[in-house]
Structure 1
């Protein structure tokens, strides 16, 4: 699925607003131990964002690259803008930025993902964050994860992924290194036992 199919008036698929969590045997290194928040799922495919991958790029780097704030003025950014989280959202269009955020910020270009979370991929939200007017909870993700028609469903049926209802607090939590284990815990799964069972498959 491409971003052009992610529209405000789309019908939500059964995986919309869910986590898909990579099984230990995931062959694709892009998704090893990945927790993906699915933003759109339909017969055309699925798209979402990995929420537990570090990114070396900082928000001031983004502002400088986009020429929103001159380099010499970056030191004067509000602290929340300097520290605004930027993560690796997936292997597709990895140079493009997206902001997942709570719905206290909405613009004409914001797309509702769930009842409480929206996605904005335009410069207006980047400028708002740089001015100290960030949504209550938000994260910038560079790139996204995408699947073609029926691909994600097939991967789930082949035991490549587990899926469960997403937890908003986990999406925005800045502690990334243990997020995989905590996502599995939402399903009552101990990662050590999952690894053991996968080894005997």
Structure 2
């Protein structure tokens, strides 16, 4: 198992990755163990808001993000509010996964939870035993530590680029690579 991988790691898709589920994405790993890994694509917006998916929040226009291709009928969330939402698991400093959804709904209805404090994901990204290690060996992903600035970025269209900038050096050049180098 790759020692550099752990919960809280960001997986940055290689600029030439053609898989439509992960092309130019950043995945925040929430769990990484020998049996497998789970995370959420943090830079791909889903076409509906939370109010269109959850009837008890029908007036809420908080965005929903495409978490990944696995179990796209499930809803997950990351947040920065452990003092407001019970039951969340701290993945890395200031980023919590899950918690009491009834509390979340009540806080949203009362106007006590802002959209920048929570992110909802439809589905998740998952890897079986040694699958992610294999993808890292194939250079499918670059890795960097996750942080609240990237996970809760105000402009999701910049997350992939900003994650590469966090790596620095030669990786910053990847930002300018075209989607299809044959068209260059």
Alignment TM-score > 0.5, same fold? yes
Go from structure 1 to structure 2 and tell me whether the alpha carbon gap of 1:143 and 1:51 turns closer, same or farther (over 3 Å shift). same
SS at match of 1:20: strand
CA RMSD of aligned residues (A): 2.6
* Map of 2:84 onto structure 1: 105
- Asked if 1:133 corresponds to 2:102, the answer is no
1:52-88 residue CA offsets vs partner (Å, 9 max, x unmatched): 0011111221232xxx25x6xx3xxxxxxx3423111
Q: Count residues with an aligned counterpart.
A: 174
Contact 1:43–1:149, Cα closer than 8 Å, also in 2: yes
Q: Which runs of 5+ in 1 are unaligned?
A: 1-12, 75-81
Deviation at residue 130 of structure 1 after TM alignment: 2.9
Task: Assess, with a 3 A threshold, how the Cα gap between structure 1 residues 133 and 180 changes in structure 2: closer, same or farther.
Answer: same
TM-score (norm 2): 0.82
CA contact (8 A) 2:164 2:175 kept: no
Please report how far the alpha carbon of residue 121 of structure 1 lies from its aligned counterpart in structure 2 after TM superposition.
Answer: 5.8
Distance of 1:53 and 1:167 partners within structure 2: 17
1:161 aligns with 2:147: no
The equivalent residue for 2:172 is 190
User: Contact conserved, 1:35 with 1:51, CA < 8 A, in 2?
Assistant: yes
Query: How far did 1:26 drift?
Result: 1.5
**Which of the pair is proportionally richer in strand?**
2
Runs of 5+ unmatched residues, structure 2: none
CA distance in 1, matches of 2:176, 2:137: 17
**Are positions 1:25 and 2:16 aligned together?**
yes
> Cα gap change, 1:193/1:92 in structure 2, threshold over 3 Å: closer, same or farther?
closer
